[in-house]
Structure 1
Amino acid sequence: MQQYRIIWADDEIDLLKPHILFLQNKGFEVTPVNSGADALDEIDQNQFDIVFLDENMPGMTGLETLTHIKASHPNLPVVMITKSEEEHIMEEAIGAKIADYLIKPLNPNQILLSVKKLLDNKRIFSEHTNQGYLQEFQKLTMEVEDLEDFEGWADLYRKLVYWDLQIDETEDKSMYDILNDQKAQANMRFCDFISDNYYDWLNNPDVDRPLMSHQVLKKRVLPLLKSGDPVFLIVIDNLRFDQWEIIQPDIAELFDVSNKDYYYSILPTTTAYARNALFAGLMPLDISKKHPDLWKDEDSDDGKNLFEEQLLGEHLEREKLDIKYSYNKIIKAQDGKQLVDGAKNLMNNQLNAIVFNFVDMLSHARTDMQMIRELAPDESAYRSLTKSWFQHSSLYDLLKFLSNQKVKVVVTTDHGTIRVKKPYKIIGDRNTNTNLRYKAGKNLAFDEEGVLFTRKPEEFRLPKVNVSTSFAFAREDFFFAYPNNYNYYVNFYKDTFQHGGISMEEVIIPIVELEPK
C-alpha cells in the first residue's frame, strides 16, 4: 500500500504530537512545522500528498499560507484546522478551494476520516463499488432471464446504467468486462422482448403498452398547459439515459427533478421517424396519410425533418388547443445565442418547443472524423464530451434563465444510440436507405435470424415507398454492411455510435419534468 506524506503546520505543533503519532501508526509519514513560512519552504522542496494547516498562526496566517500554496501547487489538497467557527473564515477558506475544514479540539478518528476521504477515497470507492456490483450481479442476471414487461426492462436498464457510471469512477475498471457481458446478454433478451411485443403495442388495444413517441406530447406535455405557466419542451436529439445522468447534477443545481421517467422510442429509432412522431402525435404511416405534404419517404432527397413546426401546429389544432406557441431548432452556436438573447420573449408563449441537435451531430462527427473518434473512443469519453458540451452550451444558459421563472420544463429526446461492434451482411438495391441500423427497400436479402423483419410495414405503422417495401431492423450491437467493399466498410463503421435499430440504449429513453427551485 502506498505511504502517503502529510505536512502539518501549527504554531503549537508540539501539543499535536499524540495526533501525529496516531497518523504515523496508521502508516502515514508526517512532517511537522511551526509556521506557514516553514510549510511553504517544505512544500517547495519536497513532495506531499496533503497539507494540514492551522488558521490562527502568528506571522503568516493559515489563510495567507493557503493562498500561496494554491498559487504554486493548485492540486495539493489542504485541510484547514481552526479553533474559530466564524463564518467569514470558513467562507474565505472554501473560496480558496480547501479540501476539508476541521475545528479544534481534534478527534483522532476525525483526522483519519479526513485523510482517508482525501487520499484513499478512490481505492475505498473502487473496492466498495466492485463488491456492490458483484453482489448485485446474480440478481440482475436472474432479472434478465425472467423479465416479461416493459416497466421491468426500463428498471433493469436504468440499474445497468447506474453500475456503468459507478464503475466508470473506479480506478481499476476491473468490473467493466463483466458488466459489458451482462449488458450484451440483457440486450439480446430485450431485442427478443421487442420482437415479441412491438406489433401488439401498436395494434392490440387490450395489451399493456409503454408510453411511446407519438403519445409523449398528449400524455406528458400538453396536460402541463393547464397550470397556466409557460411550458418549455426541450428535446435533446440522440440523448441516452447515461448521458442524461451525466448532465443531471448540473441541472439539479437549478431545478428540482420532479419526475424522472422514461418512454419507448418507436422503430426505426431515428430522427426522421421518432421525432416526427413525437411532434405530430401520430405514427409515421398516419402522418403520411393525414399530411402527405409534410412527410418525406425514404426515396426522397429532401430533408426528413423540415416540417416539425407544422406537425406540432397540426397536433395542437387536432387537440383543439388554440394557444400561442413557438418552435426552435438549435444547430449552430449562433442559433443558441439568439434563442437565449430572446428568451424573455418566449415567456409570452404558452408552449415553447426547442430542439437541440448537438448530441446527434456529435455521434455523426465521431463516425466521420478521426479526431472525434480519438476524443471519444468509448462510452465513458462519449459521456464526457456530452457533459463538456452541456456546461458550455446555450441549453445550459437557457436553463439558468428558466430556473428563475415560473415555468414548466420537460426535457426529453427522440431516441438513443448504441456503439456498434458486429457487422451483419445484407444486400439491397440502389434505392435502399443508407442507415446502418435499419434498412427499408424492396429487394432486401439477408439471414433473417437475428434481425427483426417485416414485409408489411403498415403493421408497424410505417409508410412504404411501393407495395414490396420491407423493413429490417438490426438488433443488439450489430450493424448492416454490404458485401461490396465489405472490409473497408466494416473497419470504417465498427465502434461508431449509430441509431435506428433495437437496443435498450436506443429504445428506452429519458423524459424528465423540472420545477424551478
Structure 2
Amino acid sequence: MDNIKILWADDEIDLLKPQLLFLQNKGYDVITVTNGYDALEECQDNNDIDVVFLDESMPGITGLETLGKIKDSYPHLPVVMITKNEAENVMEEALGSQIADYLIKPVNPNQILLTLKKIIDNKRLIREKTSSDYQQEFRQILMELDSGLDYTEWVDVYRKIINWEIKIDDSQSTQMGDILAMQKSTANTAFSKFIVKNYPSWVKNNDGPVMSHNLMRNKIFTRLDPEVPTLLILLDNMRYDQWKVIEPMISELYRVEEEDFFYSILPTSTQYSRNAIFSGMMPADIERHYKEWWKNDNEEGGKNLHEQDLLGEQIRRLLRKEIRFDYVKVTNSYHAKQMQDNILNYLNNDFTAIVYNFIDTVSHARTEMEVLKELAGDEKAYRSLTRSWFENSPLWAALQRAAEREVQLVVTTDHGTIRVNTPSKVVGDRETTTNLRYKVGKNLQYDKRDVLEVRNPEKAGLPRPNVSSTFIFAKEDKFFLYPNNYNYYHNYYKDTFQHGGISLEEMICPVVFLRKK
C-alpha cells in the first residue's frame, strides 16, 4: 500500500490529525497543504499523486476553483470533494466537474478508507481490463501483420495500434505500453517492406491509395458545398495520434462526419508532400510545369513559397469555375493572431486553406532545446504537449468563433513524424542533403537493408537535381548519420521526432470531415 500517495488540501488541516494518522498507519503516504494554490503546486511537482482530497470551502481559491484547474491539467487524477454541507448547487457543480467521490464533514476514517479502496481498485480494474483486452487484440494484430495486408488494411491496423496506445496511456499500464511499443516496431518493419514492394507501382500506374498529389481532387474538392463555406486546416506534421488527442475538444462544437486517411508521398517532408497537396501534382510534374515555383534540396531559397499560387492553379484546372478562395499560412504568433481576428471574414469565401506550422516547429525545436526534450520525452508526452498547445492556441479560439456560423471543417496534415532510435551510416559528397530520414545526392554509400533506394527519381515522381542523383528513404526508426562525429550526432538525434522516410506514423495521414453542431 506504501505506493499510494494522497494529497489532502484543507485550510483546517490541523484538525484532521486523527484521520491523517489513521491513513499513515494503513500505509498511505499523505501530503498536506492548506490552500488551493499549494495544492496545484504539489500536483505539478509530484507526478505520482494517486488521489486528491479537496476541501470545498478554503479561503483564497475555493475548492471548486481548484478542482477545475486540477481537471484542466490532470483530467485523469481522481479528486474527492470534502464539504460541510450537501448544498445542491455545490454538489451539482462538483459532480459536473467529474469528481471521483464526495465526503461530508466531519469525515469518518472508515469512510475515507472505503473511498480510497473504491478509487484505487477502480484504477486497477480499468488497468487490468485494458491489459486483458489488448492481449486479445495483440494476437489478432499479429495474425493480420502476417496475412499480406493491402493499403486499406494497413490503415485499419495503424488505427487499432494508436487507439490502444491512447487507451494504455489512460490506464497507466507501463508493461502493456512496452509490449505495444514492440508490436508497433514489428508493424513498421512489415509496413516498410510493403511500401518498398508497392510504392513504385502506385506512382507509375496510379493504382494505390489516395496520396498527397490527389488528395484535393479525390477527397476535398468533391465535398465542397456551394451553400456552406469550407475551412481546410492543415496542421503540419500532425500524426493520427495527435489528431485523436485534440478530437475530443473539437467534437464539443463540431460533429465528425467521416474520419478518412491518405498516404503521404515520399519524401514525407514539407517541401515535397505539401507542395504536392496544393499543386495536385507529383514534385517532378511541378518542376516541369511551374519551374519558377520549384526549388530542389540543393538550391538556395524557401521551398514552400508558392503554395497559394499552386492551389489557385489546381482550383482553376480541376473545378473549371471561379470560386472565392483564400490561403493563410501561420508560422509565428503574429500570423496566428491575424488568423484568429479574421476567421469570420474567411467564412465569406467558398474555400479557405489554413496551414498551421506549430507541430512542425515543436518537433524541430525538440531536437534543439533541452527543455522541450523534457516536455516531449516520449510518445505520450508528445501527445500531451500537442493537446496543451491546441487547448490554448489561437487556432482553437478561431475554430470556436467559426462554430458560430454554418461551416464545413476539414482537418488534415501533410505528413507525420517518427521517433528515431537506430542510426544508419551514409557517405555522400557536399551536395548531399542534410535530412535525417531521406537523402538525395550523387555516389551515395549506404546499407541497402536500411533504405528504399530510388536510382531513377522520375519513377518516384521526383525531380532529378543531377544526372546521377539517387534518393534513399530510411525505413522503420532509422536515421542517417555521416561517419564524421558519429557518436556525438548519434546521441544528439537519438529519440528525436523526424520525418522524410517510411513509417506508419509518417505516411498514413488523417483527413477528417466535420460540420458545425
What range describes the TM-score normalised by the shorter chain of this pair? 0.7 to 0.9
Amino acid across the alignment from 2:299: S
Q: Is the 8 A contact 2:226 2:350 kept in 1?
A: no
Q: How far did 1:251 drift? A: 0.9
Amino acid across the alignment from 2:165: D
Q: Is the 8 A contact 1:432 1:441 kept in 2?
A: yes
- When structure 1 is superposed on structure 2, of 90-99 and 229-238 the one drifting more is 90-99
Q: How far did 1:91 drift? A: 3.7
Q: Is the 8 A contact 2:212 2:263 kept in 1?
A: yes
Q: Is the 8 A contact 1:287 1:295 kept in 2?
A: yes
- Over 3 Å counting, the alpha-carbon distance change for 1:65 and 1:423 in structure 2 is closer
Q: Is the 8 A contact 1:423 1:479 kept in 2?
A: yes
Distance in 2 between the 1:255 and 1:199 partners? 38
Say whether residues 1:297 and 2:287 are aligned partners. Answer: no
Q: How does 1:158-237 map to 2 (within 5 A)?
A: 158-205=159-206, 207=207, 209-237=208-236
- Over 3 Å counting, the alpha-carbon distance change for 1:77 and 1:472 in structure 2 is same
- When structure 1 is superposed on structure 2, of 443-452 and 276-285 the one drifting more is 443-452
Q: How far did 1:43 drift? A: 7.5
Q: What residue number does 2:262 align with?
A: 263
Q: Tell me the TM-score normalised to structure 2 length.
A: 0.83
Q: What residue number does 1:134 align with?
A: 135
Distance in 1 between the 2:373 and 2:4 partners? 37
Q: How far did 1:179 drift? A: 1.2
- CA distances 1:259-284 after superposition (whole Å, capped 9, x unpaired): 11111000000000000001111111
Q: How far did 1:382 drift? A: 1.0
Distance in 1 between the 2:211 and 2:11 partners? 65
Q: How far did 1:172 drift? A: 4.3
Q: Is the 8 A contact 1:123 1:171 kept in 2?
A: no
Q: What residue number does 1:22 align with?
A: none
- When structure 1 is superposed on structure 2, of 390-399 and 69-78 the one drifting more is 69-78
Distance in 2 between the 1:423 and 1:290 partners? 38
**Superposition RMSD on alpha carbons, in Å?**
3.1
Q: What residue number does 1:42 align with?
A: 16
Amino acid across the alignment from 1:192: K
Distance in 1 between the 2:138 and 2:257 partners? 30
Q: Is the 8 A contact 2:264 2:414 kept in 1?
A: yes
- Over 3 Å counting, the alpha-carbon distance change for 1:115 and 1:487 in structure 2 is closer
Distance in 2 between the 1:38 and 1:451 partners? 65
SS, match of residue 224 in structure 2 = helix
Amino acid across the alignment from 2:388: S
Q: Is the 8 A contact 1:77 1:118 kept in 2?
A: no
Q: Is the 8 A contact 2:274 2:414 kept in 1?
A: yes
Q: What residue number does 1:78 align with?
A: 81
Say whether residues 1:349 and 2:349 are aligned partners. Answer: yes
Distance in 1 between the 2:18 and 2:98 partners? 19
Q: Is the 8 A contact 1:232 1:352 kept in 2?
A: yes
Which 5+ residue runs of structure 1 have no aligned equivalent?
Answer: 7-35, 51-63, 103-110
- CA distances 1:237-263 after superposition (whole Å, capped 9, x unpaired): 000111111111111111111111111
Say whether residues 1:274 and 2:264 are aligned partners. Answer: no
Amino acid across the alignment from 2:242: Q
Q: How far did 1:230 drift? A: 0.9
- Over 3 Å counting, the alpha-carbon distance change for 1:96 and 1:147 in structure 2 is closer
Say whether residues 1:330 and 2:330 are aligned partners. Answer: yes
Q: How far did 1:200 drift? A: 1.0
Distance in 2 between the 1:125 and 1:115 partners? 15
SS, match of residue 258 in structure 1 = strand
Q: What residue number does 1:244 align with?
A: 243
Q: How far did 1:449 drift? A: 2.0
Q: What residue number does 1:321 align with?
A: 321
SS, match of residue 476 in structure 1 = coil
Distance in 2 between the 1:433 and 1:288 partners? 18
Say whether residues 1:423 and 2:397 are aligned partners. Answer: no
Q: How far did 1:395 drift? A: 1.0
- Over 3 Å counting, the alpha-carbon distance change for 1:65 and 1:101 in structure 2 is closer
Q: How far did 1:347 drift? A: 1.5
SS, match of residue 452 in structure 2 = strand
Q: Is the 8 A contact 2:209 2:263 kept in 1?
A: yes
Say whether residues 1:388 and 2:412 are aligned partners. Answer: no
Q: Is the 8 A contact 2:232 2:351 kept in 1?
A: yes
Q: Is the 8 A contact 2:231 2:351 kept in 1?
A: yes
Q: What residue number does 2:57 align with?
A: 67
- Over 3 Å counting, the alpha-carbon distance change for 1:4 and 1:244 in structure 2 is closer
Say whether residues 1:149 and 2:150 are aligned partners. Answer: yes
Q: How far did 1:147 drift? A: 3.2
Q: What residue number does 2:508 align with?
A: 508
- Over 3 Å counting, the alpha-carbon distance change for 1:393 and 1:306 in structure 2 is same
- Over 3 Å counting, the alpha-carbon distance change for 1:40 and 1:489 in structure 2 is closer
Amino acid across the alignment from 2:196: S
Q: Tell me the TM-score normalised to structure 1 length.
A: 0.83
SS, match of residue 466 in structure 1 = coil
Identity %: 47
Q: How far did 1:92 drift? A: 4.4
Q: Which has the larger radius of gyration?
A: 1
Q: How does 1:102-141 map to 2 (within 5 A)?
A: 118-141=119-142
SS, match of residue 397 in structure 1 = helix
Distance in 1 between the 2:138 and 2:339 partners? 46
SS, match of residue 195 in structure 1 = helix
Q: How far did 1:471 drift? A: 0.5
Count of equivalent residues: 465
SS, match of residue 77 in structure 1 = strand
- Over 3 Å counting, the alpha-carbon distance change for 1:493 and 1:311 in structure 2 is same
Q: What residue number does 2:107 align with?
A: none
Q: How far did 1:338 drift? A: 1.1
Distance in 2 between the 1:184 and 1:80 partners? 49
Distance in 1 between the 2:237 and 2:479 partners? 18
Q: Is the 8 A contact 1:40 1:65 kept in 2?
A: no
- Over 3 Å counting, the alpha-carbon distance change for 1:130 and 1:98 in structure 2 is closer
Q: Is the 8 A contact 1:424 1:479 kept in 2?
A: yes
